[in-house]
Amino acid sequence: MSKELTPLEKMQLLIPGYRGYKVKDLIRQDDMLVRNYVRQNLENAINKLSDRESLIAQQDPFSSIIKQIEILNSKLRSLIADMATMQSGGTDVYARYKITSEALEQIVQNDSSLIDISNYLSQSALDGDINGINELIEKIRSILITRQRLFFPFLQ
């Protein structure tokens, strides 16, 4: 949850009965910020891999690494598209479907893992570690699937 609250948000946390709503709202807002950060890391990884692909193509246009990079970029674009269409932090689904505080805490934990893995993925792309990126993509996809189950427990 954000450390810096506006004076109004601090007052809202003091109101009995309203605190739970505000805490959930802050978690939802943080979730949206995290997903935007992860999306940006994935886009940076695509750019880094594309730069590496260009360098490789200049030296050896028939290198098998070019195809590997194209496959990774495709998977990364798919992840970005999935994140863009996922349940976001501030939409109406919360009013219709009950999400418990425990589920929101798990979402925060998933978000933390997403940040760590996306940072590592971005660094791996910069370092040119093509083999490790695929595993990181699958870890992110797994976390996103778990995240969706938390938002829609009735679909399990």
More confident residue, 129 or 154: 129
More confident residue, 25 or 138: 138
Cα separations in angstroms, 72 against 4, 51, 56, 68, 83: 38, 13, 15, 6, 17
**Residue partners of 69: CB distance under 8 A and separation at least 6:** 49, 50, 52, 53, 56, 130
Identity at 49, one-letter amino acid code: L
Percentage of the chain beyond pLDDT 70 is 74
More confident residue, 122 or 30: 122
Residue 92: the pLDDT is 44
Residue 12 main-chain phi, psi, to 5 deg: -60, -35
| Per-residue pLDDT tens digits for 76-102 | 999 999 888 876 554 444 445 566 767
Residue found by looking up tokens 């570690």 in the block: 129
Distance, in Å, from the CA atom of 34 to the CA atom of 144, rounded to the nearest integer, reads: 12
Q: What is the pTM of this model?
A: 0.76
Taking the CA atoms of 140, 48, 83 and 40 in sequence, report the sign of the dihedral they define: positive
Domains of the chain plus CATH, in order, are 7-87+97-151 (1.20.120)
pLDDT, averaged across the chain: 81
Distance, in Å, from the CA atom of 100 to the CA atom of 111, rounded to the nearest integer, reads: 17
**DSSP letter (8 states) at residue 154:** G
Residue found by looking up tokens 């360098």 in the block: 55
| Per-residue pLDDT tens digits for 3-51 | 677 776 676 666 666 656 666 677 777 778 888 899 999 999 999 999 9
**Residue partners of 108: CB distance under 8 A and separation at least 6:** 1, 27, 30, 31
Distance, in Å, from the CA atom of 94 to the CA atom of 125, rounded to the nearest integer, reads: 36
